[in-house]
Amino acid sequence: MAQNDIVDTTAAYSSPNASPLTLTSTPDTALVAAAKALTSARYVVAMTGAGLSAESGIPTFRGDDGLWAKFGEPRMDGYKRFLDDPHGWWRREVTQTQDPYVLELRRALEQAQPNPAHHALAGMERSGVVKTVISQNVDGLEERAGLTRLIEVHGNRSKYRCIGCGRRTPRDTFVPPAELPPPCSECGSIVKYDSVMFGEPVPPERMAAARAEIDRADCVLAIGTSVTVRPVSGLLWIAEAQGATVIEVNPNETRLSGVCDVVVRAKAADALPGLVSLLSAGT
């Protein structure tokens, strides 16, 4: 997720029904409680955040070791600057002269592989436990792990997208022409990375699809999300307000933790394979 890959971040939503709920005390008992909640649920939706990607070696933005601490926080008008000068943006892409933190992030993305949590989540989809995954990540690792019912709200860096008709094209099959910016082969509009830039609205069809899944869910599994990136973070508060069971898997406390029914305070790569084992055993 680079300067052209992330929507603006602001304060999280406040939950209208914030009240003390049951928090499990140890990872083991939390996993058992999570497995029971998933087993008894009718329609489970998972939501993944940057913490899941970090476990595959992709650096985060914030924090003491984040890219912004190292390189400084970028400007938040990336999409406007792209629209003002798409030729210049594409020229920097072709010549690899983007900001230093962008280049470092891309090197990490090129080397990253799905981790055990990605594969466990894909197994939960195959078994029918998880119906849909709403991803806030742009690295494409969930797709590579085999997830198929996947809503990539912020896009996928392995694809390009036309800003006119929304047509998505895999990067490995798209050859930018000599004339920049490249036009869409369908409608002639400008093509950019599929990932959402700073200041770029999330494609409305993706938010609509994600909201529809949240409305169907009676259980939501929140994995590695800090619950700060809008508008997607609001979906978790909507699920909680609608009475869904909310399970959090995160090594760190978040703004969501206090309203969750179950909190698994562990890394996803450790917790999710264990959760799959419990589900397979019929816990």
Cα 266 to Cα 250: distance, rounded to the nearest angstrom: 6
Active-site residue numbers?
A: 154
| Strand arrangement, sheet containing 219-223 | 150-152, 130-135, 44-48, 219-223, 245-249, 262-264
Cα 201 to Cα 155: distance, rounded to the nearest angstrom: 11
Which two structure tokens, joined as six digits, stand for 268?
């996803």
CA angle at 151 for the pair 156 and 27, rounded to the nearest 5°: 100
Which two structure tokens, joined as six digits, stand for 88?
């210049």
Output the CA–CA distances (angstroms, integers) from residue 35 to 60, 103, 125, 162, in the order listed.
29, 40, 14, 41
Cα 200 to Cα 9: distance, rounded to the nearest angstrom: 12
